[in-house]
Chains A and B, each alone.
Chain A
């Protein structure tokens, strides 16, 4: 294996635990379920919008007219059912791809009414990647049924660690990093070019967004008014944003760089919320960045915290691990 192959192997096929991929499946699946279920009524109203405003794109680009509201509701329900199966990891080989594709079609249709909600992009890409890859080898119905079939207790099974899980996680991270990189390139290739990072340019973006909101009766962020005179601050934010966006591919090369990048991108979204009042929920919740962290370690940590806070009966013996040691 030559050095280039070795480097590519380290980047794309690092051994990672199945539980990390499973954590992503469950967390992203839960978010997608909440996201769709909470908007159930609103999505139906969108589907009933005047047909002249229908501009099909993405997976529904081929449609010449909208479908009936009843058919759309069937799509909504099917997506939620597949979503539930995805979360619990039941027959993932079938329900995983089904969920990814249904979510893609559903949100393509939802975004085909004059406005693309770019905050949905990463969630759909992640669902597709996780749906088609073995994200239910741990912490799933499939794994539980398999363990039961084999006659072993799943809780005693050692966590699987394999490059195929690391590969899937890296693909999820790549989907994230590339979306930020594309946003950075679009800013440079736009009519502002490198001037985008000047305080004036970024401030004008914030200003237009604020006036838009004011004109249509939406609340405006107070911070936008408070910071408006401080052009230097917008220059600082512009430079930082561009570093985060154009530097995103570097996050794939090294785990620590990836974590550092993710923290900065996460902070950027909270900054956008405070200054512009824009709620990119998937990003603000940190879900888009989970793949950069060893998130599966949160589970034993959470269990430990639960035990710490749970009332202890002094007569109850401490639980014994499979190795016979006392936890």
Chain B
């Protein structure tokens, strides 16, 4: 593809193909721009139009969470790592997709099984798992005030350990902001 150094005319001639390739590459790299004008833009890889952080946000945030409930009914937030692999945002999106597709029970069972397997530290006290969607007020959250506006339960399941560790009732859970990894 590359000629050796020669006279000016030959050099100019030799740059024609690189110039053409450059033009083609620029067109390809800039092609995701078109997504901005589409009604339903599609992101891709590696040719992305980089839509992250470009959407308007409301004063409230609605998102899914995994809650652990201990024998006393104390609730704590469980780590996303119990729900899947592939990084925070991938698991978050997969959780949302599963909840939307009414597969929260499957997620719940998977998380409960992982909690049972781990059997260490705070996780050893978790008796049941809940998959929920919570709505939070953003300003109150950052003011360290009670920010939860609502909560919807999608699934509740017992952690498969000893029979006596499985709670009979998990809906009497108390709220707490403790996070269990």
The reply to whether B80 and A191 contact each other, CB–CB distance below 8 Å, is: no
Known: A179-B29, A217-B181. 14 other contacts (CB 8 A): A12-B18, A116-B45, A121-B45, A164-B18, A171-B22, A174-B26, A178-B30, A186-B50, A196-B54, A204-B138, A214-B141, A215-B65, A216-B88, A217-B78
What are the 10 closest A-B residue pairs judged by CB atoms, nearest first?
A190-B54, A183-B50, A204-B57, A217-B79, A45-B85, A189-B36, A58-B45, A115-B90, A216-B80, A121-B46
Q: Which B residues are within 8 Å of any A CB, using their own CB?
A: 2, 5, 11-12, 15, 18-19, 22, 25-26, 29-30, 32-33, 36-37, 43-57, 61, 63-66, 77-81, 84-95, 97-98, 101, 134, 136, 138, 141-142, 144, 179-181
Chain A residues with CB under 8 A of B56: 190-192, 201, 204
Asked if A49 is an interface residue, CB under 8 A from chain B, the answer is yes
* Other-chain contact of B90, A108, A114, A186 (Cβ < 8 Å): A114
The reply to whether B61 and A187 contact each other, CB–CB distance below 8 Å, is: no
The reply to whether A208 and B44 contact each other, CB–CB distance below 8 Å, is: no
CB distance from A40 to the nearest CB of B (A): 12
Chain A residues with CB under 8 A of B77: 214-217
Asked if A124 is an interface residue, CB under 8 A from chain B, the answer is yes
* Other-chain contact of B97, A114, A121, A191 (Cβ < 8 Å): A114
The reply to whether A192 and B55 contact each other, CB–CB distance below 8 Å, is: yes
Q: For the complex, count residues of A whose C-beta is within 8 A of B.
A: 67
* Other-chain contact of B92, A175, A187, A212 (Cβ < 8 Å): A212
Asked if A118 is an interface residue, CB under 8 A from chain B, the answer is yes
CB distance from B85 to the nearest CB of A (A): 4
The closest CB in chain A to the CB of B106 belongs to A50
Q: Which of A111-149 contact B (CB under 8 A)?
A: 111, 113-118, 120-122, 124-125, 134
Q: Which of A22-69 contact B (CB under 8 A)?
A: 42, 45-46, 49, 52-53, 57-58, 61
* Other-chain contact of A218, B19, B64, B88, B94 (Cβ < 8 Å): B88
Could you name 26 residue pairs across A and B whose Cβ atoms are closer than 8 Å? Answer: A46-B86, A49-B94, A52-B101, A58-B45, A61-B44, A108-B46, A114-B90, A115-B90, A116-B44, A118-B52, A120-B46, A167-B22, A171-B25, A174-B29, A182-B48, A185-B49, A189-B54, A190-B55, A201-B56, A204-B56, A207-B61, A207-B142, A211-B61, A211-B138, A211-B141, A214-B77
CB distance from B26 to the nearest CB of A (A): 7
Asked if A228 is an interface residue, CB under 8 A from chain B, the answer is yes
Q: Which A residues are within 8 Å of any B CB, using their own CB?
A: 1, 8-9, 12-13, 42, 45-46, 49, 52-53, 57-58, 61, 104, 107-108, 110-111, 113-118, 120-122, 124-125, 134, 162-164, 167, 171, 174-175, 178-179, 182-183, 185-187, 189-192, 196, 201, 204-205, 207-208, 210-218, 224-225, 228
CB distance from A143 to the nearest CB of B (A): 15
* Other-chain contact of A216, B66, B86, B101 (Cβ < 8 Å): B66
The reply to whether B79 and A216 contact each other, CB–CB distance below 8 Å, is: yes
Instruction: Say yes or no: A46-B92 contact (C-beta < 8 A), given A185-B33, A205-B57, A215-B63.
Output: no
* Other-chain contact of A58, B33, B46, B63, B86 (Cβ < 8 Å): B46
